[in-house]
């Protein structure tokens, strides 16, 4: 049993490297079954074992971040300790803040992880725990890296406009930019629709999900995808990895005749509203980083009375280029995405995509995912260029 547990731990440590969040072989997971097993030997085994015992969890994952995340998190930890406070929607909703652990002891790390799912230990890496499996810790590590990236670049743009960038921030920004992955430029060819049977449709969804992750437009555990086939919405399940969708998609009748949606994405209601919009069948939702960053860029933010709720209740009509930016929250409440997105996507004869403030991008395709993926890629590429243009930097290396 311990061998199986160690293999499972290694799988998720390797997934972090495949996602570019750690260097190959850097992450280490400690998982408890009949006994404690490690994904690899590590000088931090005593710390991890102590945390598994102290927290009473099934897994603790240590992920030394790869660049540019290492530069970003080290800078933020040094500047914002005892906690990094991102403003993106996901962190506001699920994590609130990212504790900075003051010293590499079981006591200090356990104190931070007893109140949050993940924390950052300067000079060491991201620590995250899963009550039952390493998958939960993997999701948290991905979330911490994403939140740190968005905060670092969004705050730098705001500080640049305010004239408050100091030498340390400038140096960290330059180092992070040197390590940015290239923007997506080539969109792969995807299966052509319309799809007329479930197997072909599900295969096309799995293909599009993998491509979205491979292009860096979403971390695998975020985002979702759906397709409307004759009034039945095929949609990724909540927590499903977009690069591993087979067996993780639900078929939900749009007439409400089934409870099949109980395990579907938390954004099922928004997908259903879009599916009923104008006959377009394919919906893709990703979290491309610069689109999220630019959605949070507002020159009036400092004086806006709604600045703490602008991600769900912004009164301004905003755009990133030609792409609308809308507020909204998950669910069917008065400010839910189910209400804020459809009008924006229906306008002008049917827009290809919309950015949800601080959250991510939703795109649509008529009968397959080719146009939806191309739109997602184009929106992120445009927002990335707009970000550096706003700084007056003609290239990405300041």
On the question of pLDDT at 173 being above 90, the answer is yes
Rounded to an integer, the average pLDDT of 215-240 is 91
C-alpha neighbours within 13 Å on the C-beta side of residue 57: 26
The third-level CATH classification (topology) of the domain covering 198-391 is L-fuculose-1-phosphate Aldolase (3.40.225)
Q: Say if residue 172 is exposed, middle or buried (CB neighbours under 10 Å; 0-12, 13-18, 19+).
A: buried
Residue owning tokens 């930890």: 77
pTM for the model: 0.93
Cα distance between residue 240 and residue 220, in whole Å: 8
Q: Residue 324: which pLDDT band, with cuts at 50, 70 and 90?
A: very high
Cα distance between residue 219 and residue 215, in whole Å: 10
Highest mean pLDDT: which range of 216-225, 305-314, 375-384: 375-384
On the question of pLDDT at 332 being above 80, the answer is no
User: What pLDDT sits at residue 201?
Assistant: 98
Rounded to the nearest integer, the mean pLDDT of the chain is 90
Q: Say if residue 257 is exposed, middle or buried (CB neighbours under 10 Å; 0-12, 13-18, 19+).
A: exposed
Q: Domain spans of the chain?
A: 1-178, 198-391
Neighbours of 74 (CB within 10 A): 17
> In this structure, what token pair is assigned to residue 273?
């509203």
Q: ∠276-279-285 over CA atoms, to 5°?
A: 70
User: Which backbone phi and psi does 127 adopt, to 5 degrees?
Assistant: -110, 135
C-alpha neighbours within 13 Å on the C-beta side of residue 5: 17
Q: Residue 249: which pLDDT band, with cuts at 50, 70 and 90?
A: very high
On the question of pLDDT at 376 being above 90, the answer is yes
User: Which backbone phi and psi does 282 adopt, to 5 degrees?
Assistant: -105, 130
User: What pLDDT sits at residue 389?
Assistant: 94
Span 106-156, pLDDT tens digits: 999 999 999 999 999 999 999 999 988 788 899 899 999 999 999 999 999
Q: Say if residue 101 is exposed, middle or buried (CB neighbours under 10 Å; 0-12, 13-18, 19+).
A: buried
User: What pLDDT sits at residue 128?
Assistant: 96
Span 200-212, pLDDT tens digits: 999 999 999 999 9
Q: Checking DSSP bridges between strand 125-130 and strand 118-121, what pairing results, if any?
A: antiparallel
What region does 174 belong to: left with phi over 0, alpha with psi -120 to 50, or beta?
alpha
Q: Checking DSSP bridges between strand 36-38 and strand 28-32, what pairing results, if any?
A: antiparallel
Rounded to an integer, the average pLDDT of 323-329 is 88
Span 71-117, pLDDT tens digits: 999 999 999 999 999 887 666 666 689 999 999 999 999 999 999 99
Answer yes or no: are the C-beta atoms of 305 and 312 closer than 8 Å. Answer: no
For a pLDDT cut of 70, what percent of the chain falls above it? 90
Rounded to an integer, the average pLDDT of 323-342 is 82
- Specify the CATH number of the domain 1-178: 3.40.225.10
Cα distance between residue 292 and residue 220, in whole Å: 16
User: What pLDDT sits at residue 97?
Assistant: 92
Rounded to an integer, the average pLDDT of 47-64 is 96
Span 273-315, pLDDT tens digits: 999 999 999 999 999 999 999 999 877 666 666 666 666 666 6
Answer yes or no: are the C-beta atoms of 129 and 137 closer than 8 Å. Answer: yes
User: What pLDDT sits at residue 2?
Assistant: 54
Q: Residue 5: which pLDDT band, with cuts at 50, 70 and 90?
A: low
On the question of pLDDT at 372 being above 60, the answer is yes
User: What pLDDT sits at residue 360?
Assistant: 93
Residue owning tokens 């191309």: 374
């Amino acid at each position: 049993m311990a061998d199986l547990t160690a293999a499972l731990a290694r799988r998720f440590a390797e997934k972090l490297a495949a996602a570019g969040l750690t260097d190959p072989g850097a992450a280490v997971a400690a998982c408890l079954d009949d006994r404690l097993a490690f994904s690899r030997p590590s000088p931090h085994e005593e710390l991890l074992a102590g945390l598994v015992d102290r927290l009473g969890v099934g897994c603790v994952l240590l992920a030394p971040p790869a660049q540019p995340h290492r530069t970003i998190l080290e800078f933020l930890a040094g500047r914002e300790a005892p906690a990094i406070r991102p403003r993106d929607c996901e962190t506001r909703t699920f994590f609130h803040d990212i504790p900075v652990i003051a010293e590499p002891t079981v006591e200090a790390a356990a104190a931070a992880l007893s109140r949050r799912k993940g924390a950052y230990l300067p000079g060491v890496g991201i620590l995250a725990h899963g009550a039952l499996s390493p998958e939960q810790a993997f999701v948290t590590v991905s979330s911490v890296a994403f939140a740190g990236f968005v905060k670092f670049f969004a705050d730098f743009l705001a500080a640049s406009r305010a004239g408050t960038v100091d030498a340390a921030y400038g140096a960290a920004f330059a180092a992070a930019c040197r390590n940015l992955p290239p923007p997506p430029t080539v969109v792969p060819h995807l299966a052509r629709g319309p799809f007329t049977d479930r197997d072909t449709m599900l295969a096309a969804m799995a293909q599009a999900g993998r491509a979205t992750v491979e292009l860096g437009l979403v971390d695998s555990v975020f985002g979702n995808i759906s397709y409307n086939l004759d009034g039945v919405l095929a949609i990724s399940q909540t927590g499903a990895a977009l690069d591993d969708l087979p067996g993780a998609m639900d078929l939900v009748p749009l007439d409400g005749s089934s409870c099949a949606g109980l395990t579907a994405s938390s954004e099922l209601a928004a997908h259903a509203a879009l599916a009923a919009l104008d006959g377009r069948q394919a919906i893709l939702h990703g979290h491309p980083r610069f689109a999220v960053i630019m959605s949070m860029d507002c020159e009036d933010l400092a004086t806006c009375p709604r600045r703490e709720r602008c991600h769900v209740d912004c009164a301004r009509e905003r755009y990133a280029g030609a792409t609308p930016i809308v507020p909204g929250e998950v669910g069917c409440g008065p400010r839910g995405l189910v209400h804020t997105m459809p009008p924006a996507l229906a306008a002008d004869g049917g827009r290809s995509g919309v950015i949800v403030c601080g959250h991510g991008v939703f795109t649509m395709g008529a009968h397959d995912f080719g146009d939806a993926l191309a739109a997602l890629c184009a929106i992120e590429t445009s927002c990335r260029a707009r970000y550096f243009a706003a700084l007056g930097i003609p290239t990405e290396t300041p």
